[in-house]
Amino acid sequence: GVGMGMTAPVSITAFPAEDGSFQQKVKVSLRIPSQFQDNPPCPTDESIKIEERQGMTIYSTQFGGYAKEADYVNYAAKLKAALGSDAVYRKDFYLCNGYDPPMKPYGRRNEVWFVKE
């Protein structure tokens, strides 16, 4: 019953298939605003979970426009190629992040994150 507003980024955890496309399983994460972090309101929907995300080191790439699944897959492949075989990061998932409301037509920011192991 508490309105917290929209936060950024909206983060989608993608679990890539062998061909690099998304599997049907994804997880959407929203940041809880600072004033609610010490005592977040309890969700009334059982499918919504509150979890604490620990600090992490990431490899990231950024791109603009209205991001679609194909864009995230494409930029994940570019990031993987840029990192080469020496970088050690989680291969079982990556994070797709959008920072802008749908009504913002220009100067949009999206990122792909690989989490360093």
**Is residue 26 in a domain?**
yes
Task: Over range 65-94, report the average pLDDT.
Answer: 95
Q: Is the dihedral of CA 6, 7, 9, 11 positive or negative?
A: negative
Residue 74 CA to residue 112 CA, distance in Å, equals 10
- pTM of the predicted protein model: 0.88
Range of the domain at 63: 8-35+50-114
Indicate whether 68 pLDDT > 90.
yes
CATH of the domain at 68: 3.20.80.10
Interior/surface letters 11-38, b for 16+ CB within 10 angstroms, e for the rest: bbebebeeeeebeeeeeeeeeeeeeeee
- The domain tally of the chain equals 1
What is the average pLDDT value for the chain, to the nearest integer? 91
**Is residue 2 in a domain?**
no
**Is residue 104 in a domain?**
yes
The amino acid present at 88, given as its one-letter code, is: V
**Is residue 42 in a domain?**
no
**Is residue 3 in a domain?**
no
User: Which pLDDT score is estimated for 22?
Assistant: 75
**Is residue 44 in a domain?**
no
